[in-house]
Structure 1
Amino acid sequence: MPTLPPGHSRPSEHEPHQYRQAAESFGSDAERYDRARPRYPEALVERIAAAGPGVGAPDAFDAIDALDDLDVLNNPDVLDPLDILDVGCGTGIAARQFQAAGCKVTGVEPDARMAELARRRGLDVVDVATFEAWDPAGRRFDAVVSGQAWHWIDPVAGAAKAAQVLRPGGRLAAFWNVPLLPSEVAEAFAAVYQRVAPDSPFALRATAKPAPDGYRALSAKASDGIREAGGFGAPEQWRFDWEWSCTRDAWLDQMPTHGALTGLPPDKLAEVLEHVGAAIDAMGGSFTMPYVTVAVTATRAEP
């Protein structure tokens, strides 16, 4: 069973999952988070849902053929739904997409406010806990997913826990939406954020060019954690490109849900939103923003 190696070096204080105040701050406005955060590409959801243990496996369909009963194929209720664990499920944004795809989804979430909203939206949140500390109590799953949350988890301990709860052939998939902000919006945000919160651990990130390359370090850490934890095949990286036609109000509505802003005092947050809003107004009040969704994924090895 994969475990955290005794010699595993602890991450530096600059690792994202060390910022517990930021990691557990999103529930300060859970309703806004659920309303404003973008969803994930259906192609990603479908690819994960189609890659569970035994899905489409020849022996499964040979068994159906042996029954000589075509009604079985026409009745999806006789096939067990993919059993998914959503790590850092938040308000259940990704979980509801997997539920719509016919999957059974269970959530684990460290913020009680987010977990409560997820439950009200119909998600079974089994525990309010960090994934590393969560006791699965013998539960096993076909897939472990984490949308916009795996960077808040120790990459080695998290991968080891995922291997522990996955059935052989099950899939771990951590994924992030990466906005490719127009330069006018990115520059306005970076300039005002450097002014209002220069000592924040996010200040340097605010000046970085927003692109998939900005998530390369997170993807690399996730892949390295999977390799170090053991129990998985070679990690893969998937990419999905899509667009969002975004109004000024829609973009400003979701900005306070990001870790860089959840802890700002109201006056400083208002200043950030005012300057970014002015930049969008200068662009005509709306823009089309390309997104890239990046995923790091690996399959649980056979015993």
Structure 2
Amino acid sequence: MPTLPREQPEPSPTKPHEARRMAESFGVDAQRYDQARPGYPDALVAQIIAGSPGTDVLDVGCGTGIAARQFQAAGCATLGVEPDARMADFARARGLEVEVAAFEAWQSDGRTFDIVVAAQSWHWVDPVAGAVKAARVLRPGGRLAIFGHVYEPPATVAEPFAAAFRRVAPESPLVGQPDRRPLDLYRAAYAKVADKIRGTGQFNDPKQWRFDWEQSYTRDQWLDLLPTTGGLTQLRPDQLADVLDAVGGAIDSLGGHFTMSYTTLAVTAVRAGSPTPTG
């Protein structure tokens, strides 16, 4: 995975939920973000719903609504909470109900939900305060599900990307990360998320799920996705063009396309003190 710009559970800096400038940079081009970013495995969505007492969903950091629309399509009533008004406006235009706030500061006004999800967004939430708040707004047996993608293009694509990024943005805190990291590091990061949830005492023992899948990308499709990733959202146009030229040349050398291996990791836990649903 080209780890320099990724939004994984524990990116640099050490406390990603405090990196508000990067966290709120993805709305620069909300339409590109929505079109280029991949969705989530249908099996994951189905498993979350099957293991929950109902179908009222709160989507934390919903962005443009990629995951929320999948839950809607599966029959759920979904409310999004999103700190970036640009992303929220895009999601609303696609038919979602969204309230603009950081999750920690969001006011539930007594509303409760069967499911609280965070799709590729929990690392922007204070891990302890967020878990406590999720427990507060969950109904008996309600489920918290935190998930995101780990993905790794071929080394012939990842390495030119990393080199170009270091060249154009040497001051970025992300340049200290390696070009590629093994899946086990991301699994360990999700295990830390589970530990934070467990430590609140508000949930039954968290479980970890894994879904493996593939997606093919053309040169243009991958170059459309890259500018939506953290780090690149903050580059000047000339810097971004330099990175995309390097990556585009690498993909050309592969015949203009490549297949990405994705792993979607999830941590899920049921609110304590309630009958545990199946699933």
TM over 0.5: yes
Structure with greater contact order relative to length (CA < 8 Å, sep ≥ 6)? 2
Any stretches of 5+ residues in structure 1 without a counterpart?
1-11, 54-80
Write out aligned runs for 1:146-185 (5 A).
146-185=118-157
In structure 2, the residue matched to 1:144 is 116
**1:178/1:211 contact within 8 Å kept:** no
Among residues 69, 79, 86, which one is paired with 1:96 in the alignment?
A: 69
Amino acid aligned to 1:90: G
Post-superposition CA distance 1:217-265 (Å, at most 9, x none): 5313311220222210111110000000111100000101001211011
1:180, distance to aligned residue in structure 2 (A): 1.9
1:194-225 deviations in whole A, cap 9, x for unaligned?
Answer: 111122122123x2424423423531331122
Native 8 Å contact 1:208 1:214 kept in 2: no
Partner of 2:271: 300
1:131 and 2:96 matched: no
Counterpart for residue 41 of structure 1: 41
Q: 1:242 aligns with which of 194, 202, 213?
A: 213
Output the CA distance in 1 between the equivalents of 2:167 and 2:29.
Answer: 24
TM-score of the pair, normalised by structure 1 = 0.84
Q: Could you give the per-residue CA deviations for residues 98-130 of structure 1, whole angstroms, max 9, x where no partner exists?
A: 1111111110000000000000001111x2111
2:79 to 102, 106, 109: 106
Does structure 1 conserve the Cα–Cα contact (< 8 Å) formed by 2:187 and 2:265? no
Distance in 2 (CA, whole Å) between partners of 1:214 and 1:105 is: 32
Per-residue deviation at 1:85?
A: 0.2
Equivalence map 1:1-303=2 (5 Å): 14-53=14-53, 82-125=55-98, 127-205=99-177, 207-302=178-273
Give the letter for the 2:60 counterpart: V
Q: C-alpha displacement at 1:91, in angstroms?
A: 0.3
Quote the residue 1:71 is aligned against. Answer: none
Q: Secondary structure at the match of 2:173?
A: coil
User: Per-residue deviation at 1:13?
Assistant: 6.0
Aligned CA-pair RMSD = 1.4
Shift of residue 88, structure 1, vs aligned partner = 0.2
Give percent identity, aligned residues only: 63
Residue 171 (structure 1) shift: 0.6
Which whole-Å CA distance do the structure 1 matches of 2:230 and 2:258 have between them? 23
- Could you state the TM-score of these two structures normalised by the residue count of structure 2? 0.91
Partners of 1:180 and 1:292 within 8 A in 2: no
Give the 3 Å change call, closer, same or farther, for CA 30–248 of structure 1 in structure 2.
Answer: same
Equivalenced residue count is 263
Assess if the C-alpha contact under 8 Å between 1:155 and 1:221 holds in 2: no
Which structure: larger Rg? 1
Q: What amino acid sits opposite 2:209 in the alignment?
A: W
Counterpart of 1:8 in structure 2 is none
Q: Counterparts of 1:156 and 1:44 in 2: how far apart (Å)?
A: 24
Cα contact 1:27–1:111 (8 A) shared by 2: yes
Contact 1:181 1:210 survives alignment (8 Å)? no
| Residue 89 (structure 1) shift | 0.2
Which one is further off, 218-227 or 248-257? 218-227
* Structure 2 SS opposite 1:292: strand
Write the letter of the residue equivalent to 1:225.
Answer: K
- Letter aligned with residue 165 of structure 1: V
Conserved 8 A contact 1:36-1:253 = yes
